[in-house]
A and B are shown apart, each in its own frame.
Chain A
Amino acid sequence: MPASPLILAKRFALFAALWLVLTAGALDGLPFGAAAAAAATWTSHRLLPADRDRLRLHRLPAILPRFLWGSLSGGLDVAARALRPRMPIRPGWVRYRSALPAGLPLVALGGELSLMPGTLAAGTREGDLLLHCLDVGADVVSSVAVEEQRIRGLVAP
């Protein structure tokens, strides 16, 4: 398939930035970095063709605070349940039909939910996300829908 030069250039820039982080910007590493970034761009194009799963990375900073907050409350929640002597957990399963496209968006939602309070994804079955909940009494579905909306904001268009 034809590769969009703009997307390839963006990926190359991303890998070049990664090289600069790894080498702390050492000058004599730049030729190696250019070659490495080119090889990584080619590999990423082979494995993840640019026409699918396009993410709007510039929108990432907007949802980052929410993600970090969710991650923090996820940790606090599970710590509180683990350390309380009576250990208040009521584990169970919920199936969630997501409107997100299969692939990176849906996998990212599952991964994110696994870091949020109370939910743990186990992949999909017949297109539904399988969610293990620490407390089936809580309103899981509506909080999942909120996270889904956030991921949706990252997916093109």
Chain B
Amino acid sequence: MIADAVTVLLIGAGLFFFVAGTVGFVRFPDVHSRLHALTKADNLGLGLVVLGAALQAPDAATVLKLVLVWLLTLAAAATVAQLLARSALEDGAP
């Protein structure tokens, strides 16, 4: 029961960051600022959702697999952020 409540809290917090990331993505005035919103907020949101799901996992291997999902997404985000930021810079974005 406590695990369920914590799961709901964590997933709820994760959703907050997903929504905030999307708001920043829509509102921020230039490409690079939008990329900030996308990279930080969404991956934090995913991390919290993964953490919430891990509390419901049937075994340790599933917990680790969930962590692996998050780590792979983080690595992708850290790479994509730098590549897109540079690409937009070379295209002449301020």
Size class of B's contact patch? 35 or more
B52 within 8 A of A: no
A20 touches B43 (CB 8 A): no
Please indicate the chain B residues that have their CB under 8 angstroms from the CB of A20 in the complex: 61
A21 touches B64 (CB 8 A): yes
Given contacts A21-B61, A74-B44, is CB(A79)–CB(B86) below 8 Å? no
Q: By the criterion of a CB under 8 Å from any partner CB, how many residues of chain A are at the interface?
A: 36
Specify the main secondary structure of chain A where it touches its partner.
helix
Number of A-B residue pairs having CB atoms within 8 Å of each other in the complex: 113
Residue of B with least CB distance to A122: B85
B61 touches A24 (CB 8 A): yes
A82 touches B82 (CB 8 A): no
Q: Which residues of B contact A (CB under 8 A)?
A: 16-17, 20-21, 23-24, 27-30, 32-33, 35-37, 39-41, 43-45, 47, 59, 61-62, 64-65, 68, 74-75, 77-79, 81-83, 85-86, 89, 94
